[in-house]
Amino acid sequence: ASSKPPAAGAQAWELASPELREPARFALEMYNRGRAAGTRAALGAVRGRVRRAGRGSLYSLKATLVEPPCNDPTVCQLPVSKKTLLCSFEVLDELGKHMLLRRDCGPVDTKTTGAGRAPGWFSPASPLFQLSPDDRNETFSSFLPLLNKDPLPQDFSVKMASIFKDFVTTYNRTYDSQEEASWRMSVFANNMVRAQKIQALDRGTARYGVTKFSDLTEEEFRTIYLNPLLKDAPGRNMRPAQPVTDV
């Protein structure tokens, strides 16, 4: 890994692990958010790249996380002694303020890959750790169209922060702590990506974007506002209505 970053606006470059520590720690913090002590995942190996983004840096990290043993049978359906996850994170660091833009995790089957590592884990050429072109396109260009231009726009995160600020003002949001606020901002940014994807795939005239639910994760929204019984429970039989003959 080269230790001296090239000039702003150049392509991403490999990092030495000490430089990854901060963004990796923030990503782990966000991943463990809301978990009680003893149930939090631990960080394994990390590698990543950084790309200058205006006044800050955009880190693309690939990391392994180790989940603790699952002791509570009511929580885990399949008792697993330990589970290693392979995650990719995008963390924006601007003047020391971090924002998680993206998180994707999936289990790495320790039995097949042996010793908890994917083959070629440390070889830079390993396909597991390259940002695949569609990865790159899907995340950066669909949500952040301005990112297509190099260098990144000066005010990208300022723009996101100002949109989030409008949201907080419009819907009169309050958060208990700075940490909560930064978590909600990262959820908000993630939701902007989701909204834009839904927009791109809608065949009608609907417009999707910021709503009063934009700082909720999909899981929170689904749990709080939706009604799983509708698809699960049969409900009572009702007789069919008489067809309408004359309107």
Helix (H) or strand (E) holding 67: strand 56-67
Q: Is 40 in the site for other proteins (CB under 8 A)?
A: no
When asked if residue 166 is in the footprint of other proteins (CB under 8 A), the reply is no
Instruction: State the minimum distance, in angstroms, from the CB of residue 184 to other proteins.
Output: 15
> Which residue stretch of 15-23, 24-32, 83-91, 238-246 sits at the interface with other proteins (rule: CB under 8 A)?
238-246
CA atoms of 152 and 150, how far apart (whole Å): 5
Stretch that binds other proteins, among 41-49, 86-94, 149-157, 203-211 (CB under 8 A): 203-211
178-200 and 156-170 helices cross at what angle (nearest 10)?
Answer: 100
Which CB atom, from 155 or from 218, has the smaller least distance to other proteins? 218
Stretch that binds other proteins, among 44-52, 113-121, 147-155, 190-198 (CB under 8 A): 190-198
x-marked contacts with other proteins along 214-233 as a string, rule CB under 8 A: x-x-x--xx-xxxxxxxx-x
Which residues partner with 58 through β-bridges?
51, 92
Does 78 bind other proteins (CB under 8 A)? Our answer is no
Q: Kindly report the length of the chain.
A: 247
Residue 197 phi, psi (nearest 5): -65, -45
Cβ(141)–Cβ(148) under 8 Å?
A: yes
Task: Pick between residue 39 and residue 217 the one whose CB is nearest to other proteins.
Answer: 217
E strand or H helix that includes residue 93? strand 83-94
Tell me if 74 contacts other proteins by CB under 8 A. Answer: no
What is the sign of the dihedral through the CA atoms of 29, 30, 34 and 39?
A: negative
What are the angstrom distances between the C-alpha of 247 and each of 13, 40, 135, 240, 242?
Answer: 70, 62, 54, 18, 13
Which of residues 113 and 142 has its CB atom nearest to other proteins in the complex?
A: 142
Q: Which of 157, 186, 190, 191 binds other proteins (CB under 8 A)?
A: 191
Instruction: Give the tokens for residue 70.
Output: 């699952």
Tell me if 241 contacts other proteins by CB under 8 A: yes
The footprint of other proteins on this chain (CB under 8 A) covers a number of residues equal to: 44
Query: Smallest gap, in angstroms, from Cβ of residue 232 to other proteins?
Result: 8
d(CA 196, CA 201): 9
Q: Which of 38, 96, 133, 240 binds other proteins (CB under 8 A)?
A: 240
Measured between alpha carbons, how far is residue 80 from residues 68, 70, 109, 114, 230 in Å?
Answer: 9, 6, 11, 16, 32
Q: Is 210 helix (H, G, I), strand (E, B) or coil?
A: coil
Q: Give the closest residue to 187 by CA, choosing from 173, 200, 201, 199.
A: 173
Q: Is 169 in the site for other proteins (CB under 8 A)?
A: no
Nearer to other proteins (CB atom), residue 177 or residue 225: 225
Scanning 33-41, 74-82, 98-106, 210-218 for contacts with other proteins by CB under 8 A, the matching segment is 210-218
Q: What does the binding site for other proteins look like in residue numbers (CB under 8 A)?
A: 171, 191, 194-195, 198, 201-214, 216, 218, 221-222, 224-231, 233, 235-244, 246-247
